[in-house]
Amino acid sequence: MQLKCVAIDDEPLALQIIEKYVAEYPALTLVNTFEDAISGGEYLKMNKVDVLFIDINMPDITGIDLVKSLTDKPMIIFTTAYKNYAYEGYELEAVDYLLKPINNLRFGTAVQKAIGYYQYKHTDTPNESDFLYVHSEYRLIKINIKDIEYIESMQDYIKIHMLGVAKPILTLMPLKSAIEKLPASKFIRIHRSFVVAREQIRSIHNRKVKLTNVELPVGTNYTDFIKDWHK
């Protein structure tokens, strides 16, 4: 696996740092760097790359506007000195959001996210993966499927409730899309708003499913659910 990378930043020193860090990862190849967003954008429209390191606050066009203009988006890692752009990065489903000055350890975390997500997206059977990738709190999060207790639909969002974690992970994704990413052998839909991990079901009684830490309602398809459960 070799990921082609491009870096765009109006600060030459920032580009030098990224070039230095990228060279430490054999899986990455920095194919080009640009000090202005317009030239970088033209290159990206003509050349396919896997990862884009891009500054947000640039004089000619912002990194956010450039990313929005791309029809075939690579994995995005934003680099900036300003925290207030984090929400825009979330909307564009950035892999990560690095604050300057970027240290090597934090850069490495972002790179490993990109590598893992690339492998996940290019597997032949993504729904049989041991992990689920979602965008939450401005970054890409890798979730171990065995740690999921249940998933709750919130219209266009879902809440992923994890074992031993009080706060669920909130992400912009319809429940149907989440189901398609999960192994059917390990999860079952009990209601239009709930999907639960099969091994977390402790009992089924009075149209309710009792999990380890919560009790959830079963929908109008109760009979079909019981048949599925007993397969």
What three-state secondary structure class fits 106?
helix
Across 19-28, 113-122, 176-185, 190-199, the highest mean pLDDT is recorded for 19-28
- Band of residue 222 on the pLDDT scale cut at 50, 70, 90: low
Mean pLDDT (the chain) is: 87
> Shortest CA distance to 8 belongs to which of 73, 72, 57, 48?
57
Average the pLDDT over 1-11 and give the result.
Answer: 94
Local confidence band at 80 (pLDDT 50, 70, 90 cut-offs): confident
pLDDT digits (tens, 9 = 90+) for 21-43: 999 999 999 999 999 999 999 99
Domain 131-229 indexed as CATH 2.40.50.1020 = yes
pLDDT above 80 (res 216): yes
- What pLDDT was estimated at residue 125? 58
Which of 129, 127, 128, 169 minimizes the C-alpha distance to 148? 169
- pTM (2 decimals)? 0.75
97/227: higher pLDDT = 97
Per the model's pLDDT, the better-predicted residue between 227 and 67 turns out to be 67
Here the tokens at position 163 are: 């074992």
Q: What are the extents of the domains in the chain?
A: 3-122, 131-229
pLDDT of residue 166: 86
Q: Are 164 and 226 in contact (CB under 8 A)?
A: no
Give the Cα separation of 202 and 104 in Å (integer).
45
* CB contact set of 184 (below 8 Å; sequence gap of 6+): 127
When pLDDT is averaged across residues 111-123 and rounded to a whole number, the result is 87
H helix runs in 80-129, sequence order: 86-91, 104-121
> CA gyration radius for the chain?
21
Residue 52 three-state SS: strand
Report the topology of domain 3-122.
Answer: Rossmann fold (3.40.50)
pLDDT (0 to 100) of residue 175:
92
In this predicted structure, the answer to whether residue 155 has a pLDDT above a threshold of 60 is yes
Instruction: State how far the Cα of 36 lies from the Cα of 55, in Å rounded to an integer.
Output: 10
Q: Is the pLDDT of residue 69 over 70?
A: yes
